Amino acid sequence: MQFKRTWKQVDGVLLLDKPLGLTSNDALQKVRRLFSAAKGGHTGTLDPLATGLLPLCFGEATKFSADLLDADKTYEAVVKLGVTTDSGDAEGQVIANATVEVKKEHISEVLPQFIGDIQQIPPMHSALKRDGRPLYELARKGIEVEREPRAVTIYGIDCLDFSGDLLTLRVACSKGTYIRVLAADIGLALGCGAHLAALRRTVVGDIRLDKAVTLAELEGLDEVGRLARLLPVDALLQSLPEVLVAGEEAQRFSHGNPVGMPDGLSGKIRVYADGRLIGVGEPGPGGMLWPKRLVQLAV
């Protein structure tokens, strides 16, 4: 007899250490089934070859998942020197080989060239769309189209290790940065070519990998243990200022109406009543605090 799953309302955030080989959506669906969560979403894609921090949102928390898409990120990247691939990573076909005659002082000279505001040309092997079709579909057919450079910011690049033809870097960057493009460009600057051999995301916004749980650990827990790893709905909002409302103001805000705006605050603001998040607001007409997203949590 086939098991019929009962989906239920689950509200909260899970910090997942995504394993190698799974797409972000595959990882999300596996975790969603473990929680029997009716609604879930992730906060930004990690390629199957990448591991590391993937915040997952369930229930009311999905209303805030997009807020992390614009967040800065930090990665640890293993760059293989001397081998260039058509995709810029280990999944691609090798298109060039070169002898690696790189010394540590060469790396110290080259890395600062990529720190700051830079331009990157998105790879053909990417999910960006042209005429409604992902570029990777065109790339698989051997078709290459012109791509506009995009501006990204590299806040810092640290060399963690260099041995033979393997270079391990820590990269802090803005949203939209292609680490495999960065790896390939560093290889060009070093004169030997390179591709991204491995990638691990360690920081998203102010959230760090050391707080994450692996899929295997989650599978080994019972329902109570899994729920204990679930963070509150507002876990992704901790960098925002907060406002406390009560009584009539709490009722007004919860029904989509503006309330008085405290002095000295700007931008997105967390709003709480009786110790519970009731939504996120922004300054608006009349100098009032206007609801932008409301949450409805079971008491």
Active site residues: 47
For residue 217, give the 3-state DSSP assignment.
helix
Residues 69-97 as b or e (16 or more Cβ within 10 Å = b): eebebbbbbbbbbbbbbbbbbbebeeeee
Cα Dmax for the chain = 72
Query: Can you tell me which residue has the tokens 């070093």?
Result: 190
What's the CA gap between 211 and 56, in Å, rounded?
A: 13
What's the CA gap between 93 and 87, in Å, rounded?
A: 7
Q: What CA–CA distances, in Å, run from 74 to 14, 65, 213, 284, 292?
A: 19, 18, 18, 34, 29
What's the CA gap between 166 and 162, in Å, rounded?
A: 6
Q: What's 92's DSSP letter?
A: S
